[in-house]
Amino acid sequence: MSSSDWKIQGSTGDGPGLHLLPNVYLVAWLGMTKDEIDCSAWVIRTEQGLLMIDCGTPWGHTRLQQNMQHWGLSLDDLSCILLTHGHVDHGRGGYLFRQLGIEMLAHPAAAELAESEWATCLKAEGSSESYQVSGYLNGGETIERCGLKLQVFHTPGHTASCLTFLIEIDGEPCLFSGDLIMGNGLPGYRGDPGYSEQAIVDGMNRLLEEEFTHLLYGHGYRLDDRGKLFREALEKHQRGEWLEGG
């Protein structure tokens, strides 16, 4: 079934998340946990297992599992997690998946940040365990997981170590861009030491050279986007609205 024939199922808020595309699910989202920050965690279902983009937080982990169970998605089938970057809402919960032996790939600098967060959490839990990511991605790679070809782009700006993933799912290219730009066409958090407005501009221009249908980012999505959000954001930047919006 193509996305044009697909009706989105589910809801956020108090709901179980979204069955967004025939084989793509939103299982965590901003606002999922009261008074805490969460990100969009995406699960792609394939015949060879599940692939997750960003894994959320410790405080959202139980809810994330419940949402997966609602859609018939089992952690036993989760093969690999890709981190777009290492901020708390995207990767702090990663050690809970690494405890299960699930593969996790990230940029080296994002991995270092996430692993530091994991150590803090484990120490607070009274545990002497230690976990690391499974491997590194620097951008420029094309890898295969769960029978899917994944193109990896280094898209710094939000942080110096952000990655974007282009994955063809059911014949439609889907771009997972993390926090490169927000849904309002403005940068998000600007306090990271690696924040660079010019790098965000350069990253969006680079990604606009690729063909993609759907945009799934760190705190939302746009179906049938085809680069519209990036073009809107670049126009706002040219008009000086990024400064005003900051």
pLDDT value for 224: 97
Encode pLDDT of 176-198 as tens digits. Answer: 999 999 999 999 999 999 999 99
pLDDT value for 64: 98
Please give the single-letter amino acid code of residue 184: N
Say which residues have a Cβ less than 8 Å from residue 16's Cβ, sequence separation at least 6: 10, 66, 67, 70, 71
Other beta carbons within 10 Å of 119: 15
* Average pLDDT estimate for 78-95: 98
The H or E element containing residue 233 is helix 228-238
CA distance 19 to 223: 13
Q: Which band of pLDDT confidence, cut at 50, 70 and 90, is reported for residue 243?
A: confident
Q: Which domain holds residue 104?
A: 3-245
Q: Which band of pLDDT confidence, cut at 50, 70 and 90, is reported for residue 244?
A: low
Other beta carbons within 10 Å of 72: 10
* Average pLDDT estimate for 131-143: 98
CATH code, 225? 3.60.15.10
CA distance 240 to 194: 21
pLDDT value for 162: 98
- What share of the chain in percent tops pLDDT 90? 96
How far apart, in Å, do the first and last CA atoms of the chain sit? 41
* Average pLDDT estimate for 92-119: 98
* Average pLDDT estimate for 218-234: 98
Tell me, yes or no, if the pTM score tops 0.85. yes
| Whether the predicted pLDDT of 1 surpasses 80 | no
Q: Residue 41: name the closest of 13, 81, 69 by CA.
A: 81
pLDDT value for 245: 55
Summary mean pLDDT of the chain: 96
Q: Residue 180: name the closest of 133, 139, 229 by CA.
A: 229
Other beta carbons within 10 Å of 121: 17
pLDDT value for 5: 81
Tokens 């050279």, residue located: 209
| Whether the predicted pLDDT of 100 surpasses 70 | yes
| Whether the predicted pLDDT of 132 surpasses 90 | yes
Encode pLDDT of 38-81 as tens digits. Answer: 999 999 999 999 999 999 999 999 999 999 999 999 999 999 99
Report the domain count for the chain.
Answer: 1
Rg (CA), the chain: 17
- The neighbouring-strand residues paired with 45 are 50
Q: Which band of pLDDT confidence, cut at 50, 70 and 90, is reported for residue 97?
A: very high
pLDDT value for 235: 98
Say which residues have a Cβ less than 8 Å from residue 49's Cβ, sequence separation at least 6: 77, 78, 79, 80, 146
Q: Which band of pLDDT confidence, cut at 50, 70 and 90, is reported for residue 115?
A: very high
